[in-house]
Each structure stands twice: as structure tokens, then as C-alpha cells.
Amino acid sequence: MTINKQGMNPADIRTQYATRAVFFIGGFGAASWAPLVPLLRQRLAIGEDVLGLLLLCIGIGSLLTMPLSGATAVRLGCRKVLTFASIAFALLLFLLSQVAEILLAVPVLLCFGAIMGCIDVVINIQAVIVEKAAGKRLMSGMHGLWSVGGFTGAGLFGIWVGGLGLSPTASTLIAAGIMMGTIIAFSRFLLPYGGDAGGQMLAMPKGIVTFVGLIACIAFLVEGAIMDWSGVFLTTVRGLDLSLAGMGFTIFSAAMLIMRLMGDKLVQKLGQKAVVLGGSMLAFIGFLAVIFAPVTELLYAGFFAIGIGSANIVPVFFSLLGKQKDMPIALAVPAVSTLGYLGILMGPAAIGALAHATSLYAAFGLLAVLVALQFVIARHVYGKVL
């Protein structure tokens, strides 16, 4: 049993549950924010162009805090950072359901993004430490709890507003209460430390961590592009009815959730290299099906294959950060997270620009090429680390 100098065993089952709980909070909070976007636009009486700029504040806020979050966790400990950030996340979520002035919306959205980015980085630092101490695969299941939180948050908001007739304010207040209650219940089992930053503050990728960051960038770019553009692709390019616009992302998300919950056992059985390289190949085949499938069933199967293939790539490489020697974990995780988040921000815009210049067929073809590039980079990383 590994006991750290603070007298806490990072492999403790309660610490594992606490780590999963914070992943759940992250997904639940993000999903609870999504239905507030059109309500914010209505309250502020703004157009899509201004709304787009406002939403960019979330990404800017995240990018500002991610490179510094690892060093903050080292100084204060994961427990203090995650407890404060989770409570702030809940409070800011409720504030966003009330803000009615654009001059107030900008700083609130910046803070909201900053907190989201901080949670994402620090909980992955804790997850790497906990998994390494436990000596077994845990990362895929932990990331799966983010997806569980997302599905739960989206589903409950629909039930509260659509089924029970609650107001958005009341529904958001309940969501914030669930988030705060969860972190209060699990906070004492979070790690009171955050690894080592080697005396550095800013997380700049170097060595093999740069290649892992590129893989994360591609993975998140693909996910963001499917979320924002699959509906447009299905309706305008493949000619499906508007009522089926959400099917692609729904199938993709369900496949991701299922495979992440199964991922740890799958990696233990097949090996992480086989899961990553095989998953990249499956995702590539899925994109070919989405682009060229002659029937709708194969088209949907393509989205399912992309979700299955992509699900465990990011969790596996976060685990791999615990084995590399080029950077301390407390700096490697935020460096990779920052590059991954750049993929989320760049993906939808890049696809839109390419689609405007050529076609959505070409844009989705680019995604297939990027997945193939991910396969090549992954092989290089495994050759260096393992």
C-alpha cells in the first residue's frame, strides 16, 4: 500500500470514487449550461454573431487557466482546488441563468470557462496519480463518468422543464445544488497534494508530451466537429430529414459512453497499444462510411464506429503521461489539456471554413485524414514511451 507524506493512500477506493464524482460534476455542469445558451441570447436580445463572440469567452477563459492549473494544484493540492472550483462552477452556472446585461455576461463567461478549464486539468492530474498508485486501469471509466454526467444533466433538465413544468431558473438552481452537494460529499477524499511541477509555473509541452498533445488536439477536434457539423452534414449533404439531424452525434456520443465504461477492461485484455491503434483505424473506417455509405443504416454505423474507435484514445494517453519522463505530471497534464482544448475551439471553425471554400464532403474527408495522422503519431509515441 502506498501512503504519501500527507498520510493518504491515493489508491484508496474512496479516492477513486471521489475522482469519478468530480468527472461527473464536469460533465453535468457542461450539459446543464447548454440549454441556457438560447435563454441567454433571448435575455440579452442579441444576434447569432454576438452570441458566438460571447461563447468564445468560455474558450478564452479555459485557455488562460489551463497552463497554470497544474502548478496551482501543486501549491494548494487537488482537494482545495477542485472543491473551490466545483462550488464556483455551480454558482457561476446559476448566475448565467440570471445575467441580463452583456457587460456582466462577458466576465461571468470568462470566469465560467476558466473554472471549467481548471477542473478539467486538475481532475486529470488526480486521475493519473490515483491510477498509477492503484496499479490498474481506471482512466477510461473515470472519463466515462464525464459522459454520464453529460447525459444525466441534459436528461434531467428536459424532465424538469418539459415534464414537471419548472422554470429554467428553478431547474438550474437544482442542478447547481446537485453539483455542490456532490463535491461536499466527496471533497474530503480528494488528494491534498497535486504532484510535482519541477519548480515551473507555466505548462509548455516538450518532448513526447508534445506528440501526446497533438493526439489530444486531433481527438477533441474530431469530437467538436461531429457535435457542431454532423447535423448539417446529414441534412444538407446526405439529404436526411431535419428531425434526424441529431442522430449522428447521439449515436457517436452513446458509442463513446458505452466504450469508455468498458474501456478499462478492454485495455487490460487487449493492451493499450492495440486499443489506440485499432480504435484509430476503426474511426477512419467510420468516416469513410459516413462519407460514402449508400444507405442510411451504414451511415449511422459509421458514426457508431467513430465513437467506438475514438472513445479510449484520450484516456489511454492521459494514463501514458504517468510513464513519460520529459515533464512532471503536474505540467504534462495541463499542457496536453490545453492542446486538446485548442482542438475543440479550432475544429468547428476549420470545418466551416473548409466547407465554405470546397464542400462538407471535403471537410469530413479532412477529419478522416486527421484520424489517419493520429494513428501515425500514436505509433511514434508508443515507440518512444514503451
324-338 pLDDT per residue, tens: 888 888 889 999 999
CA contacts within 13 A on the Cβ side of 185: 13
Percent of the chain with pLDDT over 90: 52
Amino acid identity for residue 59 in this structure? G
Q: What mean pLDDT do residues 3-19 have?
A: 76
pLDDT at residue 385 in the model: 65
Query: Residue 158 and residue 380: Cα distance in Å, rounded?
Result: 44
Residue 39: Cβ-neighbour burial (10 angstroms; 0-12, 13-18, 19+): middle
C-alpha cell of residue 273:
497499444
Please state the pTM of the whole predicted model.
0.87
pLDDT at residue 346 in the model: 78
The full 3-state SS of 77-107, as one line of letters, equals CHHHHHHHHHHHHHHHHHHHCCCCCHHHHHH
Asked if the model's pLDDT at residue 314 lies above 80, the reply is: yes
How does DSSP assign 116-166, residue by residue? Answer: HHHHHHHHHHHHHHHHHHHTS--HHHHHHHHHHHHHHHHHHHHIIIIIS--
Q: What mean pLDDT do residues 79-104 have?
A: 95
Site of grid cell 447535423: 231
| Residue 242 pLDDT level (bands cut at 50, 70, 90) | confident
Predicted confidence (pLDDT) per residue in 344-353, tens digit: 887 777 888 8
Predicted confidence (pLDDT) per residue in 200-215, tens digit: 666 678 889 999 999 9
Residue 27: Cβ-neighbour burial (10 angstroms; 0-12, 13-18, 19+): buried
CA distances (Å), 58 to each of 49, 108, 217, 224, in order?
15, 9, 18, 15
pLDDT at residue 203 in the model: 67
| Residue 12 pLDDT level (bands cut at 50, 70, 90) | confident
H-state helical runs in the chain: 13-33, 36-44, 48-76, 78-96, 102-134, 139-158, 168-186, 208-232, 247-270, 272-292, 296-310, 313-320, 329-357, 360-385
Question: Domain segments of the chain: what residues?
Answer: 13-189, 208-385
Query: Residue 213 and residue 307: Cα distance in Å, rounded?
Result: 20
pLDDT at residue 261 in the model: 93
Asked if the model's pLDDT at residue 1 lies above 50, the reply is: no
State the CATH architecture for 13-189.
Up-down Bundle (1.20)
Percent of the chain with pLDDT over 70: 95
pLDDT at residue 197 in the model: 66
- Domain over 208-385 is classified CATH 3.40.50.1370: no
pLDDT higher at 230 or 376: 376
Predicted confidence (pLDDT) per residue in 276-291, tens digit: 999 999 999 999 999 9
Nearest CA to 174 out of 245, 289, 94 is that of 94
Asked if the model's pLDDT at residue 245 lies above 90, the reply is: no
Amino acid identity for residue 78 in this structure? C
Q: What mean pLDDT do residues 87-100 have?
A: 95
8 Å CB contact between 190 and 79: yes
| Residue 183 pLDDT level (bands cut at 50, 70, 90) | very high
Predicted confidence (pLDDT) per residue in 17-64, tens digit: 999 999 999 999 988 888 888 888 889 988 877 887 888 898 899 989
C-alpha cell of residue 344:
475543440
| Residue 6 pLDDT level (bands cut at 50, 70, 90) | low
| Residue 84 pLDDT level (bands cut at 50, 70, 90) | very high
358 Cβ contact list (under 8 Å, min separation 6): none
8 Å CB contact between 372 and 286: no
The mean-pLDDT minimum among 6-10, 25-29, 154-158, 249-253 falls in 6-10
Contacts within 8 Å (CB) and 24+ apart, 4-13: 4/193, 6/192, 6/193, 8/191, 8/192, 9/133, 10/129, 10/130, 10/133, 10/134, 10/191, 11/130, 11/133, 11/134, 11/135, 12/189
C-alpha cell of residue 152:
444525466
- First vs last C-alpha separation in the chain: 25
Q: What mean pLDDT do residues 253-273 have?
A: 92
Asked if the model's pLDDT at residue 308 lies above 90, the reply is: yes
Asked if the model's pLDDT at residue 85 lies above 70, the reply is: yes
pLDDT at residue 5 in the model: 45
pLDDT at residue 8 in the model: 66
8 Å CB contact between 131 and 137: yes
Predicted confidence (pLDDT) per residue in 217-229, tens digit: 999 999 888 877 8
pLDDT at residue 25 in the model: 97
| Residue 365 pLDDT level (bands cut at 50, 70, 90) | very high
Residue 38: Cβ-neighbour burial (10 angstroms; 0-12, 13-18, 19+): exposed
Q: What mean pLDDT do residues 130-137 have?
A: 90
Mean pLDDT rounded to a whole number for the chain: 88
Asked if the model's pLDDT at residue 106 lies above 60, the reply is: yes
Domains 13-189 and 208-385 share a fold: yes
